[in-house]
Structure 1
Amino acid sequence: MAAGDASISRREVLTGTTAVLGGIAGCTTTLGTRGSTPVSMLAAGSLNNALENGLKPRVDATLQVEAHGSAEVARLVAAGQKDPDVVSVSDLALFASPLQPPWFAEFATNAIVVAYNADTEGGQRIADAGRDGWYRPLLGGEVALGRTDPDLDPLGYRTLFVLELASRFYDADADLRDAIPRRRQVYPETQLVSQFETGAIDAAITYRNMAVERGYDYVELPAEIDLSDPAYADNYATATYELPSGMVVEGGVVNYASTVRHESPAVFDVFDAHVTGDYLTDFGFTVPDDYPRFTGNVPDRVTN
């Protein structure tokens, strides 16, 4: 990986940052002064609610969050169209290419689920089919499904991975990856689950945290296909997708990673709270005991 091979695992990070960074050129912000120079973050859409309602109240800096599908986040930064202080994506493969930061921190994991609106007929069909048969109503066209664009968003291509893996796991009569997806099902990641409220969809293939934070019921998928369990990483990797750039991504455990692009005391204060904060579990993410896990040429001020 371009970011390097070194890996550090610890939860006590970023202490003493203010003293170390106090002399950085151009830094006029006093750490702890809300309303001072803002910190900008470009992030995965699935993080948006947690950042806006979980992280913002926990930091002193004025935090400006912009959220998109992670592939779009990576494209915007790599093309020079966005220049945020912090970048957080839902697939660290995007840090191998196209972003290639010198270091990053893995800070949370997730799982793919099938969320549904129990108040609709289609949603109830998903509920009745349950963990062993959720795909059957989707094949029969009995459910209005929502998903995200695989060209813009890891959730989009992970949806295709899950369908491909499910075809084999359930020994289905059809190729679910080919039979279920339709273009009309595609919504932006930041708007996907809210389509339940408009009545546009009955169900959505989404991250668990997105269902949890909206209070929607969901079918928990077997670990063999939900992209959550490292024990099945080799199986997940059998599914692939080619992005418009020509980059081929393969299935793997859902992982979130973040890096700092512009250093200042306020930025590192936000980064610290972002990758170590207990707000993540409050919003439905899973934080393994050894996270945050650092890779690459990590600044001393981050790991000491």
Structure 2
Amino acid sequence: MRSRSRRSVLAALAAGGGLGIAGCLGSDEAVSILAAGSLAVLVDDHLGARFESETGIACRGEYYGTNAVMRMVTDGRKYPDVVVSADAGLLRDRLYDSHTAWDISFASNVVGIAYAPDTRFGERLEAGDPWYEVAREADPGALAISDPDLDPLGYRAIHAFRLAEREHELDGFAETVTDAAYQEPEEPQLLAGVETGNRAAAVVYRNMATDHGLPFQPFPEAYDFSDPDYADRYAEVSYTTDEGYTATGRPTVYNATVLESADSPDAGREFVRFLANADETLRENGFETDGFPSTHGDVPAEVTDG
């Protein structure tokens, strides 16, 4: 597959000085987006209104765990214009050939723990106790993770537990903490239990803690899935979902594409182009943008060439 450097992509995205096709789209145009749950606040509260103001195109977003998003598309239950994934490899594995032939990667993220500071779990973290000791000694259900069969954040939590077990020589740690954790099936609701007091903490991406105003302790780089230099280390662990997809540990990379079946493909391509240019907003909301955007596959000229 063809790949392009950050410099060449940015130059192409900036060509023409602005958004390229807004003038030929009516004010009643809308783009439907099916996206990872960790992007709900970003799109609904930060990017959507700005996109509509600049282009006249309204955003219509739905948000689920990325595994669930892929199933909805491949099973024919949802027909969005744009799909946005929290795992670039998962999108390519599931949608290439039959639904799309390209994507643009636009951000990365850090995995760690968001917590309620007025709980025993939070107090121990703030006192400097190692997170793995706090998690191992917490009451069952105190720590929440996303459902690993529906969401990359869920299997990244399990990946992190397994890598931590090796890193810190903690026999049985991953199984103990996984079994004790509450598994939330709706990723956008993962922090609701922390906010209401039903959970003490949750394994989340940094931007999710930022979205909810909660303190966040990142995992060490050796298992926070943010650093490409640790790609080989991340790849030492894997998780197989209930439908048989084996997700090997890898850096967190968000990517987006427009489906070949899109009802509004022009609007979809315009949104992907906008998202790839949104690095300042992404950084302000807890994402990593160094090294992005980058292209993969046969990206349409309308997305990259103005």
SS in 2 for 1:186: strand
SS in 2 for 1:259: strand
Aligned residues with identical type, % of pairs: 32
Q: Distance in 1 between matches of 2:191 and 2:126?
A: 17
Q: Which residue of 1 aligns with 2:29?
A: 37
Could you tell me how far 1:18 is from its partner in structure 2?
4.7
Q: Which residue of 1 aligns with 2:127?
A: 128
Could you tell me how far 1:167 is from its partner in structure 2?
0.7
Q: Which piece of structure 1 moves more, 147-156 or 246-255?
A: 246-255
Q: Distance in 2 between matches of 1:20 and 1:112?
A: 36
Distance verdict in 2 for CA 1:19–1:221, change over 3 Å: closer
Q: Which residue of 2 aligns with 1:107?
A: 106
Could you tell me how far 1:7 is from its partner in structure 2?
3.4
1:135-160 Cα distance to aligned partner (Å, 9 max, x none): 11221234711111000000000000
1:284 aligned to which of 280, 283, 286 = 286
TM-score (norm 1): 0.88
* Conserved? CA contact 2:121–2:138, under 8 Å: no
Q: Distance in 2 between matches of 1:204 and 1:184?
A: 9
Q: Which residue of 2 aligns with 1:25?
A: none
SS in 2 for 1:224: helix
1:64-100 Cα distance to aligned partner (Å, 9 max, x none): 0000000000110111111101000000111232111
1:91-117 Cα distance to aligned partner (Å, 9 max, x none): 011123211120000000001111111
* Conserved? CA contact 1:46–1:210, under 8 Å: yes
Could you tell me how far 1:183 is from its partner in structure 2?
6.7
Q: Distance in 1 between matches of 2:225 and 2:21?
A: 41
Q: How does 1:179-190 map to 2 (within 5 A)?
A: 179-182=176-179, 185-187=182-184, 188-190=186-188
Q: How does 1:59-98 map to 2 (within 5 A)?
A: 59-60=51-52, 61-98=57-94
1:58 aligned to which of 50, 57, 61 = 50
Q: Which residue of 2 aligns with 1:49?
A: 41
1:174-215 Cα distance to aligned partner (Å, 9 max, x none): 322201113761112101112112111111111111112211
Q: Does 1:214 align with 2:216?
A: no
Read off the aligned partner of 2:182 and give its amino acid letter.
Q
Q: Please list every run of 5 or more consecutive structure 2 residues that lacks an aligned counterpart in the other structure.
A: none
Q: Does 1:269 align with 2:270?
A: yes
Q: Which piece of structure 1 moves more, 48-57 or 258-267?
A: 258-267
Q: Distance in 2 between matches of 1:135 and 1:19?
A: 50
Distance verdict in 2 for CA 1:99–1:195, change over 3 Å: same
Q: Distance in 2 between matches of 1:19 and 1:44?
A: 26
Q: Which residue of 2 aligns with 1:241?
A: 239
Q: Which residue of 2 aligns with 1:140?
A: 137
Q: Which piece of structure 1 moves more, 89-98 or 109-118?
A: 89-98
* Conserved? CA contact 1:8–1:295, under 8 Å: no
Read off the aligned partner of 1:110 and give its amino acid letter.
N
Could you tell me how far 1:21 is from its partner in structure 2?
9.9
Q: Distance in 1 between matches of 2:40 and 2:275?
A: 12
Q: Distance in 2 between matches of 1:124 and 1:67?
A: 32
Q: Which residue of 1 aligns with 2:4?
A: 7
Q: Distance in 1 between matches of 2:35 and 2:89?
A: 15
Q: Distance in 1 between matches of 2:93 and 2:218?
A: 31
Read off the aligned partner of 1:287 and give its amino acid letter.
T
* Conserved? CA contact 2:258–2:265, under 8 Å: no
SS in 2 for 1:152: coil
Q: Distance in 2 between matches of 1:276 and 1:231?
A: 25
Read off the aligned partner of 1:282 and give its amino acid letter.
E
* Conserved? CA contact 1:46–1:190, under 8 Å: yes
